[in-house]
Structure 1
Amino acid sequence: MIQGDDTPDMDKGLNQRQLIHLMYALFAVGILSAGIFGAAVLAAVVLAYLKRGDMVGTVYAGHIDWIIRTFWWGLLWLALSALGSLIFVGFITGLVAVVWIIYRVAKGWLAHWAGETPLPGL
């Protein structure tokens, strides 16, 4: 047996930059499909949590945090909007929440394309 045969090939799989693109793409598919492919959003967030430790100290760490915060805040606002729809206000706040989520995904993805970290805020 040649030494090193059992070590994994580091060139296999996606690199960190490609993983971030994949996470944004999955999130976008889930949102733009009006929730039909909601599992894609969950997959993006699970992937973000799984790869969070690997990306600490890199330019991609900010994107991981951005994706995770977008998911949890978006879920909170959509849940509150669902409750608000019982008094006919939730439809408006739900629309605002969806627009905010789309904005965050677009802003983060564009920052990633530019090689930057998304700036905190909104």
Structure 2
Amino acid sequence: MNDNPHHDDPLRDRVVAEQGGSPDTTMPIVVYALHLAGIVTGGLTALVGVVIAYVYRGRGPSWLDEHYRYQIRTFWLAVLYFTVSAVLTLVLIGFVTWLAAVVWLVIRCVKGIKGLQEQRAPDNVDTWLV
């Protein structure tokens, strides 16, 4: 189920385009940066980033809203992956899964930033992987 009521709304995209210029991608870039900074802040900045994504979702063209949806999914999946890794550290494999989760997070953020630069939605928004 799509949690964004404006997903693929061509009328809204046309209205946004008629308002002039390309949409500002500063906030989505900030959210990706906050997700990445969460690696060293224990997730605190990622929490701030997901709040920003929730606030800004629905205010731009559908491709930009897909970035916010992707960022929100990335946050919640990261919470799951890092929690599982924390539990698995009790049997020592958690250090490997934590490293895999870090790599996963970096790849998702880089893919998202690349999509922003190309002014298109990120690929595979609904995937649990990259």
TM-score above 0.5? yes
State the shift of 1:79 in Å: 0.3
Which structure has the higher relative contact order (CA within 8 Å, separation 6+)? Answer: 2
Alignment partner of 1:112 is 2:116:
yes
Cα distance in 2, alignment partners of residues 35 and 98 from structure 1:
13
TM-score, structure 1 normalization:
0.76
Which AA in structure 1 matches 2:106?
I
2:50 corresponds in structure 1 to 45
Gaps of 5+ in 1: 1-14
Alignment partner of 1:54 is 2:59:
yes
Please say if residues 36 and 105 of structure 2, whose CA atoms lie closer than 8 Å, have aligned partners that are also in contact. Answer: no
Cα distance in 1, alignment partners of residues 59 and 72 from structure 2:
15
TM-score, structure 2 normalization:
0.72
Cα distance in 2, alignment partners of residues 21 and 72 from structure 1:
18
% identical aligned pairs: 34
Number of equivalenced pairs: 104
Cα distance in 2, alignment partners of residues 108 and 19 from structure 1:
13
Q: Give the structure with higher Rg (CA).
A: 1
